[in-house]
Amino acid sequence: MANNNQKNKKQIVMRKYPIWNDVTACIYKSSKSYGAKNESTNKIYVGSSKNNSHKLATITTKKEIYDDVISFKLIVNSLVIKEIRFKNNNGTAGDKLSEL
């Protein structure tokens, strides 16, 4: 039952943000999540300390509006990995049009 309550809560909160990030890690007892309106960027560093860390990747999720289409892009190190396009429903994502 707790999982359904968590899922329902995330669905309600996600309505306020077109981009939703749900993060899980071995150090958390449960997932951490947050929303973004137009763009979200996650820079990932690896290594053993502040002085010995190196950027592994930059991951960006970006919302773009083109007249009658709203596009969401997943970008890794400046390369578009995936894109989903929706019908523009007065500034919000309407029916899904395509997935590239």
67 close to 88: Cβ distance less than 8 angstroms: yes
In a shared domain, residues 6 and 30? yes
Question: For position 28, what pLDDT does the model report?
Answer: 87
Task: Tell me the residue range of the domain where 45 lies.
Answer: 38-100
Q: Hey, what amino acid is at 87?
A: K
Question: For position 16, what pLDDT does the model report?
Answer: 82
In a shared domain, residues 23 and 60? no
Question: For position 70, what pLDDT does the model report?
Answer: 97
pTM above 0.85, yes or no: no
Average pLDDT per block of 10 residues along the chain, 100 residues long = 55 73 90 92 94 96 96 98 96 94
d(CA 5, CA 10): 9
Count of the separate structural domains present in the chain: 2
In a shared domain, residues 29 and 44? no
Question: For position 6, what pLDDT does the model report?
Answer: 58
Question: For position 83, what pLDDT does the model report?
Answer: 98
Which long-range CB contacts under 8 A does 48-55 form with residues at least 24 apart? none
- How many CB atoms lie under 10 A from the CB of residue 86? 19
Q: Is 88 exposed, middle or buried (0-12, 13-18, 19+ CB in 10 A)?
A: middle
Question: For position 14, what pLDDT does the model report?
Answer: 58
Question: For position 3, what pLDDT does the model report?
Answer: 56
In a shared domain, residues 26 and 55? no
Query: Which stretches of 43-83 are DSSP H helices?
Result: none
